[in-house]
Amino acid sequence: MYAIVEIAGHQYKVEKDQQVFVNRLDAEEGKKVKFDRVLLVDKGGDVTVGAPAVDGMAVHAVVERHLKGDKVLVFK
């Protein structure tokens, strides 16, 4: 089973127990979050496509940690 979920303006293909790196998620570490903008759900070949989202479906997740990327220096 997998789902296509819209998180912070981007679409992610997610499965159970999968870790996903999401930019600019406004939640504290250790907090549970719910994403109710599920665009597609595949349950073993039974595909449900939303118009634009699937009604009554949501993906629940836990924020493990926040990361900062490497500092980028730009020379002109």
Per-residue pLDDT of 11-60, as tens digits, reads: 999 999 999 999 888 999 999 999 999 999 999 999 999 999 999 999 99
For residue 35, is it within any domain? yes
For residue 76, is it within any domain? no
Encoded tokens for 63: 């924020």
Q: Tell me, what's the pLDDT at 68? A: 87
For residue 68, is it within any domain? no
Distance of CA 72 to the CA centre of its chain: 26
Total of domains in the chain: 1
Asked if residue 31 lies in contact with residue 43, where contact means CB atoms within 8 angstroms, the answer is no
For residue 46, is it within any domain? yes
The range of the structural domain enclosing residue 36 comes to 2-62
For residue 32, is it within any domain? yes
Encoded tokens for 49: 């496509």
* pLDDT greater than 90 at residue 69: no
Stated pTM of the model: 0.81
